[in-house]
A and B are shown apart, each in its own frame.
Chain A
Amino acid sequence: MLSVTDLACVRGERRLFSDLAFDLAPGEWLHVQGENGAGKTTLLRALVGLSPPAAGEIRWRGAPIGRLGEDYRRELLYLGHHGAVKEDLTPLENLRVAAALDGRQLDERDTLATLHRFGLKGREELPVRFLSAGQKRRVLLARLVTRQATLWILDEPFTALDVKAVDMLSALIGEHLAAGGMAILTSHQTMPMANGRAVKL
């Protein structure tokens, strides 16, 4: 579904990596490994189309992602380093606003269920800035459920999460893969999920 050929990325005048190639089929996931500064985030940003690569091609369902544009982005969910949640809004508002910007409406019941699943029960109406770092992260991760994308691209999804949340996220990714989804993630941890492959930068 996602195929990458001859990919090269530069930062400033420095070449981070080149001749990178891999394929990802439904149900598979990819673990991007590398030292700090090896270009993991740059690779992910190239994959989602934020920063065009210096060379090479990224294809989704056979077509270059640059040409697909919105059709690619509809099936894609990227969660980066940043919180990407609004501190002044409540978790509920954050999820609802994010969905509305994607042109979709959320079912009240499902949204609340998702927040409860992520351990945010009782905090639905509290502005995010009153939550802890781990809880903020969970608000963001709740989008994994509400967005319903095929391809998840996650940059260090396990940072700031406690053991319970790590298990829950792993389970969530497992469910996603079992349902025919795909995931690409960077992480320093070893991942206990099946069907995984690793790319070392």
Chain B
Amino acid sequence: MSNRLINWFKFASPQSFYPLAGKMIPWFWALTAVFGIAGLWLSFFVAPTDAVQGEGYRIIFIHVPASWMSMFIYLVMAAWAGLGLALNTRLSGMMAQALAPTGALMAFLSLWTGALWGKPMWGAWWVWDARLTSELILFFLYIGFIALQAAIDDPRRADKAGAILALVGVVNIPIIYFSVKWWNTLHQGASVSLTKSPSMAQTMLWGMLLMALAFWMYSIAVALMRVRAIILERETHTEWVKELEAVKR
């Protein structure tokens, strides 16, 4: 084993990651605030009214970032899970477990905002639009992952089982997305799409990008917070946890 690899493993040990994550969290919150405020300013005070959808289109400034994050987090989660399966590192499983609720929240927000956009635009809270339907199935996949991990008592087994499920999910997501799209065109589903309709002005794009960055930073911050709790829960019996300042007090 090369020297560099050992360093990597040291960094990936829960013991050294716990304080590191603690130091990183405030920075990610600060970035979330900066990008969030800039993004909200652009999306509410700079971006002009849309010719077709009026002010209603402003929902895309959170709908699109939430959808992006829900998919991206699943990929990251599966990557951590696969890493854990391949290298047997303890931290990987914890990271995957910490990311899942945030990913589920993003999928839920995407569905919620999609429904609130759909009511005035399509006249219905729910339309079997290809994107919304795929998002719904993605939400189910997250719930399945969380439920499976919650049902297994042994954390090591939970990690491995979750990892296999996440990897199976990753293979399936493109297939599901493609099949839903195919099904949607066959049934002539909703023709007005939430993301395509506004003639994308430069400012709108920037607003969306900034909001996506804010969501991204938020996800990292909150996942790090959760992983810190998970690390302590799982390493309760180790010496380093007993020697933590916060525990000694």
A–B in direct contact per CB < 8 Å: yes
What mask results when residues 220 to 249 of chain B are scored 1 for a CB within 8 Å of chain A, else 0?
Answer: 000000000000001111000000000000
- B-side contacts of A12, CB under 8 Å: 154-155
User: Per-residue 0/1 for B198-216: is the Cβ within 8 Å of any A Cβ (1 yes, 0 no)?
Assistant: 0000000000000000000
A35 at the interface (CB under 8 A from B): no
B197 to chain A, nearest CB (A): 54
Describe A's contact surface by its main secondary structure: loop
Question: Which residues of B are at the interface with A, using a C-beta cutoff of 8 A?
Answer: 154-155, 234-237
Identify which of residues 73-125 in chain A touch chain B, using a CB-to-CB cut-off of 8 Å. none
What 7 A-B pairs are tightest by C-beta distance, nearest first?
A13-B237, A12-B154, A13-B236, A13-B234, A14-B237, A13-B235, A12-B155
Residue in A closest to B156 when the chains form the complex, CB atoms: A12
7 contacts between A and B (CB under 8 A): A12-B154, A12-B155, A13-B234, A13-B235, A13-B236, A13-B237, A14-B237
- CA–CA, A57 to B89, complex, Å? 19
Closest to B236 in A: A13
State the majority secondary structure of interface residues on B.
loop
B31 to chain A, nearest CB (A): 35
Instruction: Give the residue name and chain of the B residue nearest to A10 (CB).
Output: B156
Chain A: how many interface residues by the 8 Å CB criterion? 3
B154 proximity list for chain A (CB < 8 A): 12
In the complex the two chains form, what is the Cα distance from A12 to B234 in whole Å? 10
Q: With a CB–CB cut-off of 8 A, which chain B residues contact A14? A: 237
CB distance from A39 to the nearest CB of B (A): 15
A12 and chain B: residue at smallest CB distance: B154
> Within A5-23, which residues are at the interface with B (CB < 8 Å)?
12-14
B119–chain A nearest beta-carbon distance, Å: 50
Closest beta carbon of chain B to A13's beta carbon, Å = 5
Complex contacts, B234 vs chain A, CB 8 Å: 13
Cα A14 to Cα B237 with chains together (Å): 8
* Proximity bits, A7-46, B CB within 8 Å = 1, else 0: 0000011100000000000000000000000000000000
Docked complex Cα distance between A13 and B234 (Å): 8
CB distance from B240 to the nearest CB of A (A): 13
In the assembled complex, the CB of A57 is this many whole angstroms from the nearest CB of chain B, namely 16
| CB of A137, distance to nearest CB on chain B (Å) | 29
Which A residues lie within 8 Å of B236 (CB)? 13
A55–B155 Cα gap in the complex (Å)? 18
Docked pose: A14 CA to B234 CA in angstroms: 12
Residues in chain A near residue B155, CB distance under 8 A: 12
Bound-state CA distance A12–B236 (Å) is 12
- In the complex, what distance in Å separates the CA atom of A14 from the CA atom of B154? 12
Chain B proximity of A134: nearest CB distance (Å): 33
Q: Find the A residue at minimum CB distance from B154.
A: A12
Residue of B nearest to A52 (CB): B88
Q: Which residue of A lies closest to B153 (CB)?
A: A12
| Cα-based distance from A13 to B235 in the complex (angstroms) | 8
- With A and B bound together, what is the CA distance between A14 and B235 in angstroms? 11
Which chain B positions have C-beta within 8 A of A13? 234-237
User: How far apart sit A2 and B236, CA to CA, in the bound complex (Å)?
Assistant: 36
Complex Cα distance, B35 from A184, in Å, reads 64
**Shortest Cβ distance from residue A55 to the other chain B in the assembled complex, whole angstroms:** 12
Q: What chain A residues lie within 8 Å of B237 (beta carbons)?
A: 13-14
| Nearest B-chain residue to A14, judged by Cβ | B237
Interchain nearest-CB distance for B97 vs A (Å)? 16
Closest residue to A15 on the B side, CB-wise?
B237
Docked CA distance A197–B209 (Å)? 70
